[in-house]
Amino acid sequence: MGQFKPLKYRREISKNTDFRKFDDGLKMTVDCSPEIADAIEARLVSAQLSGVCVAGTHRQTSAHLTCYVPSNIRSDHVHFVDGADGGYAAAAAKLKAGKTAVMAGVA
CA atoms of 72 and 105, how far apart (whole Å): 54
- Domains held by the chain: number: 1
CA atoms of 106 and 85, how far apart (whole Å): 28
64 within domain boundaries: yes
pLDDT on residue 104 = 47
60 within domain boundaries: yes
Phi, psi of 88 (to 5 degrees): -60, -35
The pLDDT averaged over each successive group of 10 residues in the chain (107 residues) is 84 77 74 92 90 88 88 84 87 79 46
Global pTM? 0.66
pLDDT on residue 65 = 85
User: In terms of Cα–Cα distance, which of 37, 31, 40, 39 is closest to 62?
Assistant: 31
Structural domain boundaries enclosing 32 = 6-99
56 within domain boundaries: yes
